[in-house]
Amino acid sequence: MQKRSILHMFDPMPNNSPFDVNMALDAGFDVLMPYAGVKLDSIQNLTQDVIFSRGPAGVKKTAIFIGGRDMGLAIEMLEACKPAMVAPFEVSVLADPSGAFTTAAALVACVEKALQDKHGKALADCKALVFGGTGPVGIATGVIASLQGAQTTLVDHLSVDSAEDTAKQYNRRFNSQLTGAAARNDEEKAALIADADIVFCTAKAGVRVLNAAVLAQAKQLKVAGDVNAVPPSGIEGIKVKDFAAPLVEASQCDAVGVGALAIGNVKYQLQQTLLQTLLQTEQPVFLDFREAFVKARKLV
pLDDT at 54: 86
Alpha carbon distance 88, 256 (integer Å): 50
Alpha carbon distance 210, 201 (integer Å): 9
pLDDT at 53: 87
Mean pLDDT of 114-127: 98
Alpha carbon distance 292, 104 (integer Å): 9
Buried b (16+ CB within 10 A) or exposed e, 160-174: eebbbebbeebbeeb
Distances (CA, A) of 254 to 14, 26, 220: 46, 40, 8
3-state secondary structure at position 166: helix
Alpha carbon distance 113, 91 (integer Å): 34
Nearest to 279 by CA among 32, 79, 80, 40: 32
Alpha carbon distance 232, 219 (integer Å): 24
Whether the domain at 6-99+266-299 and the domain at 103-263 fall into the same CATH topology: yes
The residue type at 299? L
Distances (CA, A) of 152 to 60, 180, 263, 293: 40, 9, 20, 17
Chain centroid to CA 114: 18
Nearest to 107 by CA among 198, 193, 5, 36: 198
Alpha carbon distance 196, 182 (integer Å): 15
Fold of 6-99+266-299: Rossmann fold (3.40.50)
The residue type at 292? A
Distances (CA, A) of 28 to 4, 16, 31, 285: 10, 18, 9, 18
pLDDT digits (tens, 9 = 90+) for 39-81: 999 999 999 999 998 888 888 899 999 999 999 999 999 999 9
pLDDT at 76: 97
pLDDT at 1: 66
Min mean pLDDT across 49-58, 116-125, 223-232 is at: 49-58
For residue 210, give the DSSP letter: B
The partner residues of 6 in beta bridges, in order of sequence, read: 31, 62
Radius of gyration of the chain from Cα atoms?
Answer: 20
Alpha carbon distance 27, 278 (integer Å): 10
- Classify domain 103-263 by CATH number: 3.40.50.720
Q: Which residues contact 45 (CB under 8 A, 6 or more apart)?
A: none
The torsion of the CA quartet 291, 292, 296, 299, rounded to 10 degrees, works out to: 90
Confidence of residue 181 (pLDDT cuts 50, 70, 90): very high
Q: Which helix (H) or strand (E) holds 267?
A: helix 260-280
The phi, psi pair for 171, rounded to 5°, reads -65, -40
Inter-axis angle of helices 71-81 and 43-51, nearest 10: 50
CB neighbourhood size of 132 (10 A)? 25
Per-domain residue ranges of the chain: 6-99+266-299, 103-263
pLDDT at 3: 86
- % pLDDT > 70, the chain: 100
Mean pLDDT of 254-258: 97
